[in-house]
Structure 1
Amino acid sequence: MNHKRQRTDFNFSHEFCPASTCKPHGIIRLIQQMSYVPAPDNRQPGLLSGSRAILALILGVTALVYAGTLQFGFTYDDTPQIVTNPRISSWSYLPKYFTEHVWAQISASGTYYRPLFLLWLRLNHALFGVQNPFPWHLTTVLLHLLAVTLVFRLLIKTFSLEVAGIATFVFALHPGHVESVAWISGCTEPLMTCALVGAILCWTNRRNSRGALWLAASWLLCLASLLIKETAVLLPVLIFVYSLFEDRESPRFDAYKRAVLNTLPFAVITVAELMVRARVLRGGVADEPHPAMQTLLTVPSAISFYIQHLFWPVKLSPFYGLELMQKFSAVVVIPAALVALCAVALLLVLAFRSRTLLIAVAWLVLPVLPALIGIRLFDSNDIVHDRYLYLSTIGLGLLLGLAISRLPAAGTEIFRLPRAQFACIALIAIAIAAGTALEIRPWSNNLALFLRGVDVAPNSTPAYSHLAFEVYKRGDAADAERLYKHAVALGPNDWPANFGLAMIEMRMSNWNEADRFFQRAIEISPSVSNGSYLLQARVRVEMQHYDAAEKSVREAIDNWPNIASQHLLLAQILTKQGRIEEARSEYQKELTLNPTSTEARMGLAEIGQ
């Protein structure tokens, strides 16, 4: 059946290529065809008929595919972020969500400011506790389904139901989303998406009744999205793009002027939030940024990685072998740079072709830019993740939908769709649904996840460190020691690997080795945790090196003066040295920080108050 198509977009092509000199061919012809899409119409016939029916189908399939995650446990960072995190166990911590970074419970410095994400965790903790992961997984899947619903509602405002349906299905079931849906702590992506897409939806309603309220709601949701995850900084640019699309029939200067004015409030909110964030994080970063040249050398490989995982998301893992480039390597950098340049060139052609394609390209490119910029701040061996493509799959789905909608409409129809279009839609749907169902399985437990990690990235230090710790928790200290030593061999300057190996050696009473690797961890990152100092002190006490143990504790107190238990340990060391008055003073300092400390009271009683 031939759908009657109408042009819904102002075509930019004539501004750069006069009709008298350009003759479209090959991919240019396809791009031109993609500039013409069916007008948004929820009543058009075909398999994709009726927006409610299509949305129900997409949500149903998505829920079915992700239903298996409801039986999964807490995995990866869920333990420190949720299970053992005291900051989400009481409402008394709520004000600190807005004045501390997201990992304040284990580190004095941090890079991420996400107060509303912590609030989400607190709400779940208040409702469900941490004994059973089932309701946590349920709310994570529901968040994703809500994000899918909002994305669909936004897309049908701009694209035909056919294109919006295909794009939403790709977004809902792209295998790269398993990290954001099967992993509870990965819910930052769907949570942020709900606020961000909700902001755009409210903004598009500003010309309806109660327009001022819709506009205010869009600004509030903009702020909320920023307080959930940093990726939301792209929202002002998306508003700019959508504003251009709204004014596609207006003169170009007027359209750009109105787009700037529409974007301005969102930009002000974003800048204000970034200023608060920088103040809370004391500059906004936990460690010194990587050198700019190393970051630039790494970006082409990261872009190639994301292109590959957009179009071929198989054997996914929380760990990959891609690391920060320390120096120029022609074999690595040049091929990756060529792939990146070709991709950028194609996307520029698409973006300038029409404002319809500009929206698709904006969704594809903008969400991954923060991840590329963030390489300068990420750990050198942990710079890419599939979850950073969560929003980019909207753009991928739109481009696929626009391309499929232009396939020949002649021939036999299947479910009232042209045969070629139906075949493409069916193949894509089956492929991504099956791919997601397969990629979910490693997230069922930590052992399966970390075994997948070392399989996908055999040279990844974090993968072996996490596997070693999981093996140790399961009671095999000897094998854990072997895995940690392998991790240290792969990454001699990796703090978690050295710290983990020190912990294992301590548990096995290998005091000299434990002391050596704790010292190495301190040298690598002196300010990451007071645990390095305190555990080293305990090891040195076992070795009866009391002066060295005292030195370790005092360094911890100098860096983290207000943490309980440090003065207690120092008092115990001073007691062993016979320095009773100094020990008494430290016990009293401990009681000032922790009035309920029975150990401090017992220590005072033993030495005589």
Structure 2
Amino acid sequence: MQVEEPQVRPYAYGVKYVGVIIGLLSSLVYAGTLGFQFVYDDLGQIAENPALRSWRFVSQYFKSDVWAGLDTSSYYYRPLNLLWFRLNYALFGLNPIGWHGTSIAVHALATVLVFRLVERVLADRATAVLAALIFGLHPIHVQSVAWVSGSADPLVAIFIIAGFLAYLNFRHSGRKRWLASSLLAYAGAVLTKEPGIVLPAIIFVYECLQPTDNTAPRSAYDRVKRAGVAVLPYAAVIIAYFIARIHALRAFAPASSQIGILEMILTWPAILWLYTKHLFLPWEYSLFYDIPPVQRMFSVQFLVPVGLLLVAVLAIAALSRVLKLPAATIWTAATWFLVPLLPALYLPAVAPEIYGQDRYLYLSTGGFAMLLATLVCRALPHRSELRSYPKYQIYGTALVTIILVLCTVIQQQYWRNNVALFRRAVSIAPHNNQALNNLAVSLAERNDFADALPIFDRAIRQNPDSARLDFNYGFTLYRMRQYPDALRFLSRAAEIDSTLADAFLYMGMSHLKLGYAQDAALEVAHAIALQPHRKGAHLALGAVLETEGNIPGAIQETQVELSNYPGDQMISNRLNALVQSESAYRERMP
């Protein structure tokens, strides 16, 4: 298959690397994040994940879910995401600066690829420049760049865009090496994050919209047939991915919430309106938002966002008509906006507290930027070459750039540490229990108990059946040495969720502090049975055994802990102290 496609003129001297320059600009905007800490899931996925400590665990990445290193089950199969984390760990250890640096780098690369994508499909370099600026500088990406664990979204975007561009090269030249490159990129996309599966859908729509040559089929049926043939090779990758996923997870689709199909559909307008608002009004971002499931069609929660979305769509349609935008351009931009967003709209796979997440819009922002840049360039007469930019258009582009840069710099400050992040979340989503829980935990970790306890009380009043909330409250009371009160909340957490290993672990430690070593031993052993590699569990059992006078048993448990977390100096010191204690005991024996 070899066809002609729209071409832009060769680069004039001085603008050849304009895409790279825009990528570097997007890097500079996020330079402030280099001093940020690990936040939110970074602590579990990275700082406390033993599977990242050695290359010997790499094969495990392809055989289990993304949280397997922590004995926490999930239905997220992302081996290349884990491999990316392992590479960062090998280079930087647990120094956040390096991790943030690579997150910035992948966002810059994604920005360069968006420039190339728009330039390629629209054959307009000026529009591509504006689209790349909007994409690279838009504060909607703060979550994906300032948060280390959010780097999966730029990574999957890189694979998808690279796969699409490779497909265009194959479409233009007919060389099979480009098709092979596209298939390889597609494999990288699906193994990085689940939304990577959408690449064939994007290619399918593109083929339906784009003519090939004068002999191309013109009927809708013929175009659909041609598009189906074009994406057929990608079926092999999909099948292989499904097999690997099911083998690793023993299931296919995740189920994080019990929302029904009707509720899911009724909730979509609220989510889509949130995303639309965040794209056009670049402020008021947060990690969490209050988006409860919508249960009735004739409700304010459904009708208002539907009406607002309808107004937005009609306004864009009217403007496109006035500016005489080609239908193919509109549909191409819509494809790049909607198709990457589809996996995130399957709400049973998402916990209710995170129905709306700005990171889900990462690649979709490319479609938004494509459409907005096209509208602006149509409204302001120009030529496709950068040297022909009118001065007022340059001034307008500079103004948009300044606004986006300022908004991005301001919004990223909320990600500097957990307390700042979750204070922001509670201010934006005061009824989101995860936001309240995480803020209380973060304050408690800073020993700010006076502020943490009232927030725990507020969260439990809103959600009295949350095992995680009860555990976190109990653990905080344990740290405050209020062991009887801690046991009350920890026991309730264990009653609500009998698989919560942490609850049993700290029930045991509380009993140990109160002098009930036998109860403590049973509870800590049960915690280990539930989660064998839980950090600190074997160390805790060792402490219980030491209290009972079983020094050899304490040494054995501490050795298991050290084998799970090799190189941990605190565990090594503890083991040495136990060995010395045993030696001293033997010397005292007659």
Same fold (TM over 0.5): yes
What does residue 295 of structure 1 align with?
264
Pairing partner for 1:157 from 100, 120, 125: 120
What does residue 162 of structure 2 align with?
198
- State the Cα deviation string for residues 548-586 of structure 1 (Å, max 9, x = none): 6566456545544687976886798799899x9xx9999
What does residue 363 of structure 1 align with?
336
Distance 1:208 1:288 in 2: 43
| Pairwise CA distance, 1:327 | 6.7
- Contact 2:508 2:521 (C-alpha < 8 Å) held by counterparts: yes
- Contact 2:545 2:553 (C-alpha < 8 Å) held by counterparts: no
- Contact 1:195 1:221 (C-alpha < 8 Å) held by counterparts: yes
Q: Which residues of 2 match residues 463-502 of structure 1 at below 5 A? A: 463-502=435-474
TM-score by length of 2: 0.83
| Pairwise CA distance, 1:504 | 0.7
Distance 1:275 1:122 in 2: 24
What does residue 129 of structure 1 align with?
93
Q: Which residues of 2 match residues 182-581 of structure 1 at below 5 A? A: 182-207=146-171, 211-247=175-211, 250-251=216-217, 252=219, 253-284=221-252, 289-292=257-260, 293-325=262-294, 330-340=299-309, 354-373=327-346, 375-407=347-379, 409=381, 416-418=388-390, 421-422=393-394, 424-527=396-499, 529-543=500-514, 549=520, 552-553=523-524, 555-556=526-527, 559-560=530-531
- State the Cα deviation string for residues 431-474 of structure 1 (Å, max 9, x = none): 22221122122222222222222222222222222222222222
| Pairwise CA distance, 1:512 | 3.0
SS in structure 1 of the partner of residue 157 of structure 2: helix
Compared CA separation, residues 87 and 426, structure 1 to 2 (3 A) = same
| Pairwise CA distance, 1:299 | 2.0
| Pairwise CA distance, 1:227 | 0.7
Pairing partner for 2:143 from 158, 166, 179: 179
Letter in 2 for 1:400: L
Compared CA separation, residues 604 and 518, structure 1 to 2 (3 A) = farther
Compared CA separation, residues 175 and 129, structure 1 to 2 (3 A) = same
Range that drifts further, 422-431 or 505-514? 422-431
Distance 1:117 1:282 in 2: 20
- Contact 2:337 2:363 (C-alpha < 8 Å) held by counterparts: yes
SS in structure 1 of the partner of residue 58 of structure 2: helix
| Pairwise CA distance, 1:216 | 1.0
- Contact 1:364 1:394 (C-alpha < 8 Å) held by counterparts: yes
Compared CA separation, residues 555 and 594, structure 1 to 2 (3 A) = same
| Pairwise CA distance, 1:149 | 1.3
Distance 1:432 1:286 in 2: 36
| Pairwise CA distance, 1:282 | 2.4
| Pairwise CA distance, 1:83 | 2.2
| Pairwise CA distance, 1:600 | 9.8
- Contact 1:58 1:169 (C-alpha < 8 Å) held by counterparts: yes
Compared CA separation, residues 560 and 417, structure 1 to 2 (3 A) = closer
What does residue 568 of structure 2 align with?
none
- Contact 2:65 2:74 (C-alpha < 8 Å) held by counterparts: yes
Distance 2:381 2:547 in 1: 87
SS in structure 2 of the partner of residue 68 of structure 1: helix
Consecutive unaligned residues of structure 1, counting only runs of 5 or more, are 1-7, 10-38
- Contact 2:297 2:303 (C-alpha < 8 Å) held by counterparts: no
| Pairwise CA distance, 1:601 | 8.7
| Pairwise CA distance, 1:321 | 2.0
Letter in 1 for 2:511: R
Letter in 2 for 1:42: R
Q: How many residues align?
A: 560
- Contact 1:242 1:359 (C-alpha < 8 Å) held by counterparts: yes
- State the Cα deviation string for residues 193-239 of structure 1 (Å, max 9, x = none): 11111111111111566812111111111011111111111111011
Compared CA separation, residues 329 and 256, structure 1 to 2 (3 A) = closer
What does residue 30 of structure 2 align with?
66
TM-score by length of 1: 0.81
Compared CA separation, residues 549 and 235, structure 1 to 2 (3 A) = same
Letter in 2 for 1:129: G
Pairing partner for 1:79 from 36, 43, 68: 43
- Contact 1:324 1:381 (C-alpha < 8 Å) held by counterparts: no
Distance 1:399 1:101 in 2: 37
SS in structure 2 of the partner of residue 157 of structure 1: helix
Distance 1:328 1:247 in 2: 41
Distance 2:64 2:503 in 1: 22
SS in structure 1 of the partner of residue 81 of structure 2: helix
- Aligned-residue identity in percent: 33
Compared CA separation, residues 162 and 561, structure 1 to 2 (3 A) = closer
Q: Which residues of 2 match residues 574-593 of structure 1 at below 5 A? A: none
- Contact 1:564 1:594 (C-alpha < 8 Å) held by counterparts: no
Instruction: Verify: 1:42 aligned to 2:34, yes or no.
Output: no
- State the Cα deviation string for residues 16-73 of structure 1 (Å, max 9, x = none): xxxxxxxxxxxxxxxxxxxxxxx6423599xxx9752532442243222122222222
- State the Cα deviation string for residues 407-450 of structure 1 (Å, max 9, x = none): 2539xxx9743566455434432322221122122222222222
SS in structure 1 of the partner of residue 379 of structure 2: coil
Pairing partner for 1:92 from 56, 62, 84: 56
Range that drifts further, 379-388 or 289-298? 289-298
Distance 1:256 1:186 in 2: 36
SS in structure 1 of the partner of residue 290 of structure 2: coil
Consecutive unaligned residues of structure 2, counting only runs of 5 or more, are 564-571
More helix, by proportion? 2
Distance 2:175 2:464 in 1: 59
What does residue 567 of structure 2 align with?
none
Distance 1:600 1:468 in 2: 36
Distance 2:351 2:20 in 1: 41
Distance 2:171 2:197 in 1: 24
Letter in 2 for 1:263: V
Range that drifts further, 474-483 or 381-390? 474-483
CA RMSD of aligned residues (A): 3.8
Range that drifts further, 88-97 or 281-290? 281-290
Distance 1:557 1:63 in 2: 44
Distance 1:556 1:475 in 2: 26
| Pairwise CA distance, 1:358 | 1.6
